Amino acid sequence: MKQDIYIKLDNHVRTGHKEICLKDVASVYCGDGNLKTRAEQVVIFSFDGEEKEVISILYIYGKLYEAVGEDIQIHSIGESDCVIDLTDGKRPPKLWSKIQVVFVSLVTFFGAAFSIMTYNEDAGVPDVFKTLYEMILGEPSGNGVLEVTYSVGIALGVIIFFHHFEKKGRRDPTAMEIQMDKYEKDVVEAYVKSSDRRGKSLDVGE
């Protein structure tokens, strides 16, 4: 009777060692503990020159059958392809990381400010304020209350939208985190398709 092995392959993995085992790229479940351990220790491939590789689930099937034997039934419940990045495992200096954070924050701040200003000009927000002042005060200019409340409202809306006041611990992902996750998935998918077109991915029969 064949033993069932369940594999949940990740779509993107970063690792600091060149020899890649199944446990490095996927979660493995099997009713037989010894068989599970053997499957997790199966070497899928080793980096040789390249620092990024794409492997197919079918390629993993072949390696498992070759190493463990034919008396297994493999079930995939994860991704069909996985992108593996080889890193040196070293973290950048703290000073350089802080400089990068400051630079990105400044670019984001001034970029957002410019976008809001150009939107206000295109939408004619100053003209709207003048009309409101004329309707309420009888003159085209006021004491700046509308401008101040409008600016404060935008700031509060952004802060609340991005969950900056939420308690730490278990929480919903912020809008920025969701967009970054979508961006990473798009990058991984594009790299997989590019590797397939160039015949660079590790697939069945290779």
For the cut 90, the answer to whether the pLDDT of residue 6 exceeds it is yes
Predicted TM-score of the model (pTM): 0.67
Phi, psi (5° rounding) for residue 80?
A: -90, -20
The answer to whether 45 and 20 are in contact (CB under 8 A) is yes
169-185: per-residue pLDDT in tens? 666 777 777 888 898 88
Give the list of residues 6+ apart from residue 185 with CB closer than 8 angstroms, or none: 11
58-115: per-residue pLDDT in tens? 999 999 998 888 788 999 998 899 999 888 766 667 888 889 889 988 998 898 889 8
- Neighbour tally for 20: CB within 10 Å: 21
The residue ranges of DSSP E strands in 22-147, in sequence order, are: 26-30, 43-46, 52-56, 72-76, 81-86
Task: Compute the mean pLDDT over every residue in the chain, rounded to the nearest whole number.
Answer: 84
